[in-house]
Structure 1
Amino acid sequence: MKILHTSDWHLGASYEGVSREEDHKFFLNWLLNTLNEQNIDVLLIAGDIFDQTQPSSESLKSYYQFLFHISKSTSVKKVIVLGGNHDSPSRLDAPAELLKLLDVFVVGGMTSDLDNLDKYLCPIYSSDNKIELIIATVPYIHEFRLGVRTAFLSEKEIQADFKNKFSELYKKLADKAEELAQNVPLIATGHLACTGSEKDDSPLEVHLVGTIGSLPSDIFDPRFCYVALGHVHRSYKVEKSNAYYSGSPIPLSIKESKTDRAVYVLNFKQDQITPDVEKITVPVLRNIVEISGELEEVYVKIKKLKWTTPLPPFLSLQINVESFSIGTDFQIRKEVESYFSKITDNNTMQEQAITSAFSKSVPIISQIKQYPIHKKQKVNIFEHNKSLKELTVEEIFIKMCELKNQTLDENLLTAFRSLISNENK
């Protein structure tokens, strides 16, 4: 029995307004191939299928096409889809009965009736119709559903209540699973922030009470040999537990581009209760690269760019400037696109038309930010031989321009003089 754990696809996501649809298609094609190459029996998706609660038609199409291709071109016998905090529980659950025909088990959300937990258990059957594994399917749960009430409670009391409620839930699920079958592996899922989450993990907080921080690893009943988690976009094993985050399969931020994307494969050998866990790196279509410095320095860094991914990276540029310039963005884009369009033409210097920003050979500049820097020492207009009363209005204006790093040319000075002249009429 082999299970593949993935999560946080965020279909429909964009980076600074640029669609990631192409990146998601690249991942889904890779995943289909991997399911076949690894002879996966169960695919487990631990939440945040979509980036928005109301996904676009393109995102829905990608999702349903993928599920259809699994049923037609792989040996996967069960797909488990769980809702995350970005998903709409009702939207995920709506086609659940129909998707059963494709052996897809969907749990969009969890109700407040925690005494009726059988519907959250997904038994996996062998070829001779015997239960060989049970998965407790826990989606994202709002604290209200767990019975957590925060009014008039201290932070310590809220933390204790969260821990107790989650611990009780996982214990009840393990009890129910053992009623179905004895001596078979038990797996649980979850979509939450657990021990090991870092402050700048994207995202960290998931519940409304952000002050409680991450949940401890001992909320998971020890009878679960593996807990497949979603929500944190970095892949890692939660300390002192059998819980793992698979992380997002495509980099959705600069930080995520600095670490490998991954899925986990669980291999249960014959009569083995605890699986062998293998981390498989997911290839990415392109990364997100941050470049900062003064304009000429940024140009040099961009021209030295190299990448091993199929497509060039997204560029997030931070330009240090003495003063803001409206034309800087256009100038940078034109320079970068012109440069890369030339070098891709067999490295000749023949002038070419500037290619589209979405060219396969031109990095996509997704963000340009200008940061004012102070090259000159700030001048305090009060630290002069003359007092403020002795300075003319024009002298004060000039000093203020210096303090704000605003370039003062003749046109600006003329406009100021004209304004003062009109005020004095």
Structure 2
Amino acid sequence: MTLNVLHTSDWHLGRSLYGQRRYEEFDAFLDWMLTTLREQQIDVLLIAGDIFDTTAPSNRAMQQYYDFLRRTADTQCRHIVIIGGNHDSPTFLNAPRELLKVLNVHVVGAKTDDPAEEVLCLDDTNGQPSLMVCAVPYLRDRDVRTAEAGETIDDKEQKLLEGIRDHYQAVTGAAEAQRARLETQHKSRIPMVGMGHLWTAGAVKVEGDGVRDLYVGSLAHVGTDIFPASLDYVALGHLHVPQPVGGKHHIRYSGSPLPMGFGEARQQKSVCVIAFDDGKATIEQVDIPCFQRLRQLSGSLATLQTELQALLREGESTWVEIVYTGQDIVPDLREKLLEALTEDKEGLITLLRVKNQRITAQTLQAQDTEQTLDDLSPQDVFQRCLDAHEVPDEQRPELLHLYQDVLTRVQESDGRAD
């Protein structure tokens, strides 16, 4: 009997784009997801973290989440497994956990004290074990590493990586032991799936997608070898580009269902459907429709005006990010661009962001005065502080490491504040 599993992640419910609310897009996606569960005859839905965009989601985002879980009862999907991501509040996700369990919605919002509690054995319609899931949530630094006096940055990084590896080994070890007992009892092989929310070596992200660096230092050392060979499939979250990792077809990011930034505007979004037949996995990507077109345009004023008019002629609602790269100073840039849209009576084209990238040295100072915090990452801001205080180059690497450490702790404190 075939078991169909759908892997998705990084919904980021409640996310806005430069102040533009996206609730209608999320509604359309969740409707599509329900239709896909029916059409693909999905038995198990895996959501690999970052359900919400913030640790304090809006009422509308919470309504979308709970309404979706309720509506899955009208499909053949028997189980939903949700792990916490770095954007999620562990406390918020876990609060209704026991109630949701009655609906076969299994939530692991944060690392548990006993690794076996992150192991789920899901049954089929006959009450027989059909799938083992190692539901490992986003592992915070404090979850897997104990700080010691006198540690170097390399020491911290090595201990963190060892802690992540050890936790995956502990969870999968508990799952393997439980599976061995069940397979002996039921005389059939039970496939085993791993879940995680992290950045693994060889994986690709895109600029402007809002993905936070999860750990201090280089993440390129978190290799796919942290996932034991006993896992038939690994459902990952955190990166928004759908992709297999490290040349391993069965270790995959499903990617985000919506483009989270203009850098993802032309990216085909998808979910992964895994069919287990006699323990063997067949993996298929199912494309997600585009619910709101995004476009990033760059160039001179004349080029931008021409491209805006071309977009308007296509007659499709489009949110646009403008990156002006011309040499001329154009103080009323937005107004000049809007002149190209005078015939847009239906409001099809929305200029969400106009970024001035004038490149001549004499206008650099003027460019800086026009930038806002939306244009800068936290690392950019700190880099500018270093420049302003003329910090020597040889001192910067250690300061940047320390700043990233503080930034990570601030981001993690969102979950503790609940």
- Normalising by structure 1, what TM-score? 0.77
Per-residue CA distance 1:376-405 (angstroms, 9 max, x = gap): x97xxxxxxxxxxxxxxxxxxxxxx9x979
Structure label with greater radius of gyration: 1
- Asked if 2 retains the 8 angstrom alpha-carbon contact of 1:251 and 1:287, the reply is no
- The structure 2 residue matched to 1:304, chosen from 299, 303, 310, is 310
1:79 pairs with 2:77: no
User: CA shift at 1:252, angstroms?
Assistant: 1.0
User: CA shift at 1:372, angstroms?
Assistant: 3.6
Name the counterpart of 1:131. Answer: 129
Pairing 1:20-169 to 2, within 5 Å after superposition: 20-71=22-73, 73-111=74-112, 113=113, 116-149=114-147, 152-169=150-167
Listed as ranges, the gaps of 5+ residues in structure 2 are 181-188, 368-418
- Asked if 1 retains the 8 angstrom alpha-carbon contact of 2:257 and 2:271, the reply is yes
1:255 pairs with 2:263: yes
Name the counterpart of 1:389. Answer: none
- The structure 2 residue matched to 1:239, chosen from 215, 226, 246, is 246
Per-residue CA distance 1:21-65 (angstroms, 9 max, x = gap): 111111111111000000000011000000010000110011111
- Asked if 1 retains the 8 angstrom alpha-carbon contact of 2:157 and 2:216, the reply is no
Pairing 1:175-254 to 2, within 5 Å after superposition: 175-182=173-180, 183-198=189-204, 200=206, 202-203=209-210, 205-213=212-220, 215-241=222-248, 242-254=250-262
**CA 1:204–1:11: 2 relative to 1, 3 Å:** closer
**CA 1:159–1:218: 2 relative to 1, 3 Å:** farther
SS at match of 1:268: strand
Q: Which has the higher helix share?
A: 2
Q: Aligned equivalents of 2:201 and 2:211: distance in 1?
A: 11
Higher RCO structure (Cα 8 Å, ≥6 apart) = 2
Listed as ranges, the gaps of 5+ residues in structure 1 are 342-354, 379-400, 406-425
1:280 pairs with 2:286: yes
- Asked if 2 retains the 8 angstrom alpha-carbon contact of 1:5 and 1:44, the reply is yes
- Asked if 2 retains the 8 angstrom alpha-carbon contact of 1:257 and 1:288, the reply is yes
Name the counterpart of 2:371. Answer: none
User: CA shift at 1:335, angstroms?
Assistant: 4.1
- Asked if 1 retains the 8 angstrom alpha-carbon contact of 2:244 and 2:251, the reply is yes
**CA 1:87–1:404: 2 relative to 1, 3 Å:** closer
Name the counterpart of 2:374. Answer: none
User: CA shift at 1:307, angstroms?
Assistant: 9.3
Pairing 1:367-386 to 2, within 5 Å after superposition: 367-372=353-358, 374=360
Q: Aligned equivalents of 2:264 and 2:175: distance in 1?
A: 36
Aligned Cα RMSD in Å? 2.6
Per-residue CA distance 1:82-126 (angstroms, 9 max, x = gap): 110000000011111121232211111114x2xx12221111112
1:173 pairs with 2:171: yes
Name the counterpart of 1:408. Answer: none
**CA 1:321–1:221: 2 relative to 1, 3 Å:** same
Identity %: 31
- Normalising by structure 2, what TM-score? 0.78
Q: Aligned equivalents of 1:252 and 1:404: distance in 2?
A: 29
- Asked if 2 retains the 8 angstrom alpha-carbon contact of 1:85 and 1:206, the reply is no
